[in-house]
Amino acid sequence: MSGLADVLVERLRAVGTRALFGVPGGGGNLDLIEAARRAGLPFVLTSTETGAAIAAMAQAEVTGRPGACLTTLGPGAASVVNGVACAYLDRAPIAVFTDNSPVGTRHFSHQQLDQLAMFAPITKWSGRLTSGDDGGGVDRIFQELTSLPPGPVHIDCPGDAFAKRPRESFSAEKQPQESFSGSEQTENDSRSYFLPENDSRGRFDALVSGARRPLLIVGLGARQGADAAAIRHLCEQRQVPAMVTYKAKGVVPDAHECFAGVFTNGFIERALIGQADLIIGIGLDPIELLPRPWTFVQPIVNINPWLVPTDHVPFAAQWVTDIASAVGAIESHMRPSEWDLDAVARAVQEQRRLIDVPGTGLTPQRVIEVAARALAAPGRLSVDAGAHMLPATMLWPVAEPNGLLISNGLSTMGFALPAAIGAALIERDATTGTGVRARPVVAIIGDGGLLMCAGELLTAAREKLRIMTIVFSDASLSLIEIKQQARQLPPAGVALGAVRWAALAESFGVAGFVASTDDELAAAIDQAAACNGPSLIEATIDRSNYGAMLRAIRG
Ligand SMILES: Cc1ncc(C[n+]2csc(CCOP(=O)(O)OP(=O)(O)O)c2C)c(N)n1
Ligand SMILES: [Mg+2]
């Protein structure tokens, strides 16, 4: 008879989970790892718990199926918090299992934290497995994990919960406080409805059918393959341009005739938006936008699988529904637009020119251009938080949904490498035994960000993953440095000091290369691309143009 750990692992496999990441402690962690081994669900040891949650999140984004990670109690649970927060604000479904001491031993205070309360504000649902007899606990966990909006679910597992018992004898006890208004959403999952009121459908249709120059802004809610196909079809049939948020890059590829650039609620995109008479959000969740007032005067409507708040973006009407079918429906009553798509393409070209600020030495934009020329077509990209993100998100062409993995809702540093690990495991497993090389995953990361997750280089080496890490080595927390410059403050607390990254990588068993010119970079990329396992390129860059680049993009 299966124990609870087996039941959980079976259910994970049934929903399509590809791996269980984590740093184990003892207790129930060991039952879960053993159950995973028995069921053929790989357990992947990471160097940090947050790295585990981010790798799980990346797998959720790439596969559309929930990811999973586990931690020990106390320090492990505390250490995973940033990764769980990332999945929460980036809308990724992951199951987070924490160990805990047996329920009868809570009078021991060693390593004891209120884990349910700790995860409550950063998960859709945070509950504890207990022995009981209602049998519905596991169902509840998986209902939360697969409902909308996507997000993390925390399952606290006291050591005694995994004692051998029939599966019917387990239930889940919910945290005392509700953390997310997801419960009403769950009931609406299968429905399609308009808001704010009953006649919103009429308003929505009138705006869409009356628009001469509608502009799409595609966001993270529209990343399924069917969504992308429907959106591209609408764009092509009605000659409608589409901007994409960072997380939606690739839904409408950069090379598509209707691509209108990246939307962040910054400055650089404003001129183009000014020419639209209607903005149609598709999968647009304000969680992705820069925290600045919404100043566009045209009406905006949104189509998204879940309801989003209207206090930041004043949606005139929201259609909460399946995106692919709704996009097909609006296409049928849209007229051919009056946009000049060549002019739109020229405007995007002009944006790229504006951020091509000259510098001395190897400029950040050149690193992206040289790397993208060799790697954008075969590879998937992950990008960290920092100034290097500015050229990476604008200049790297993406052709498929989730071809760019990025933390945008949380915008956390230390993301790109563990995310690349989650994605590269899927690429590795897809090619194992076929004789075909795995698609490379390119991780673009600053030196500050890599300091936060460098231990995951060892994970990449141990798992033999085809990850090319390109570290923008500028010995500085550049994004913060340029914010200080903008306020005429002297640099303070931003100098990192030099690191011999290639040597560090080699010490982990990762092939290391250095480059400080275009030619050296191109040669290093060739050599790195020839590696079947992980590689790292230390690109010593000239950071002097980041300030001008930031002003061009954000004003
Ligand atoms: C975990 C975390 N800590 C702090 C920040 C604030 N922050 C954003 S970018 C940045 C500097 C990043 O430095 P680096 O990784 O070297 O990238 P660069 O800006 O130099 O390209 C900091 C400190 C953050 N986003 N995430
Ligand atoms: Mg830096």
Ligand 1 contact via 211 beta carbon (within 6 Å): no
pTM > 0.85: yes
Q: pLDDT tens for residues 409-421?
A: 999 999 999 999 9
Decide if pLDDT at 166 tops 60: no
Q: Among 104-113, 328-337, 362-371, 377-386, which is the least confidently predicted range?
A: 104-113
Give the mutation target among 362, 479, 554 for probing the ligand 1 site: most ligand atoms within 8 A of CB. 479
How would residue 164 be classed by pLDDT, with cut points 50, 70 and 90? Answer: low
Please give the pLDDT value at position 199: 76
Ligand 1 contact via 479 beta carbon (within 6 Å): yes
**Ligand 2 centroid to 407 CA: how many Å?**
17
Neighbour count for residue 206 (Cβ, 10 Å): 12
Give 81: exposed, middle or buried? Use CB within 10 Å, 0-12, 13-18, 19+: middle
Q: pLDDT tens for residues 177-206?
A: 333 333 334 444 457 899 988 778 999 999
Please give the pLDDT value at position 471: 99
SS3 for 168? Answer: helix
Please give the pLDDT value at position 163: 78
DSSP calls for 137-161: HHHHHHHHHHSSSP--EEEEEEGGG
Query: Cα-atom radius of gyration of the chain, to the nearest Å?
Result: 24
**Ligand 2 centroid to 447 CA: how many Å?**
5
Calculate mean pLDDT across residues 51-59: 99
Q: Among 197-201, 372-376, 402-406, 546-550, which is the least confidently predicted range?
A: 197-201
What are the residue ranges of helices labelled H in 315-472?
Answer: 323-332, 341-355, 364-375, 389-395, 416-431, 447-453, 456-462
Q: pLDDT tens for residues 58-74?
A: 999 999 999 999 999 99
**Ligand 1 centroid to 456 CA: how many Å?**
18
| Distance set, CA 207 to CA 279, 301, 316, 360 (Å) | 10, 8, 9, 50
CA–CA gap between residue 120 and residue 30 (Å, rounded):
25
> Percent of the chain, pLDDT > 70?
94
Q: Among 136-140, 517-521, 526-530, which is the least confidently predicted range?
A: 136-140
Calculate mean pLDDT across residues 455-462: 98
Ligand 1 contact via 402 beta carbon (within 6 Å): no
Calculate mean pLDDT across residues 97-106: 87
Residue matched to tokens 């966990």: 141
Please give the pLDDT value at position 169: 44
Please give the pLDDT value at position 82: 99
